[in-house]
Amino acid sequence: MTRARRVAAVLVRWLLGTGLVTWRYLWETTPLYRRECRGHAADCPPPLPPGVLDQRVQRAEDGYGPLFHRKFQVGIAAAELDAGRLLDRVVGDFRHFVPTEVVNIRTGSLGAQGLDVGDELVVEMPGPWNGPVRVVRRDATSLHLATLRGHLEAGQVRFGAREDDGLLVFEIELWARPASRLVHVLYSRLRLAKEVQLNMWVRFCLAAVATARGSLVDGVHISTRWLGDPDTALSAR
């Protein structure tokens, strides 16, 4: 697909898809439990493996404004998949879990095992930004991504699954700050980008429940902790 056609496709998804996602969000019957509070140094992202760092990696230190540590979590009862098999589905077909009426996933050539360390993908999102990321860690039950130059955020995201007290728990954990002053306004001040992101990750969690062929227990739990001036904490790691 040419660049012009790709831009046109993103614009169409933005105009039509954002309206559809907004409508679904307003009528979403799944309970969402949201909690926000001020964070501390422990909310900084984990160090990245040296072998995956280069000039294209957009670390939290490269961002602007506050650092947000967010977690989206669901409990799944009577799941037919265990934690490892659910993560195999995530790395094997990442696009299956995102709201494709708004978001498109582009990857290079992947091996039979799906996404692996060093692989890159681009999350084409509503608005003028895409979300290029790179796989920096992968094990049997987790997938860890770092943002690259051009992403609207600077930081990391981790997808994980585990068994806990008879439930399969799936969670998405993010450590990120706005990549620029404009994103800071949209995310931190107007909260526009923040709500679009929230909707996408809620949909991802619900897709994980459906993929595991289990039942959602007690809705989606969303916690947000923020550091207003994270530079000192980030430099002290």
What pLDDT sits at residue 187? 59
What pLDDT sits at residue 76? 98
SS3 74: strand
Contact in structure between 30 and 119 (CB atoms under 8 Å)? no
- CATH number assigned to the domain covering 3-235: 3.30.530.20
Q: pTM for this one?
A: 0.86
| Integer CA distances (angstroms), 171 to 26, 69, 72, 90, 212, in order | 23, 13, 5, 12, 13
Task: List the domain boundaries for the chain.
Answer: 3-235
What pLDDT sits at residue 157? 97
| 148/145 Cα distance (integer angstroms) | 10
Residues of the chain with pLDDT under 70: 1-28, 126-129, 184-196
| 153/193 Cα distance (integer angstroms) | 10
What pLDDT sits at residue 159? 98
| Integer CA distances (angstroms), 184 to 68, 159, 187, 193, in order | 11, 24, 5, 9
HSE of 32, CA atoms in CB hemisphere, 13 A: 19
Q: Extract the runs of DSSP E, i.e. beta strands, from 148-202.
A: 153-164, 167-178
What pLDDT sits at residue 136? 97
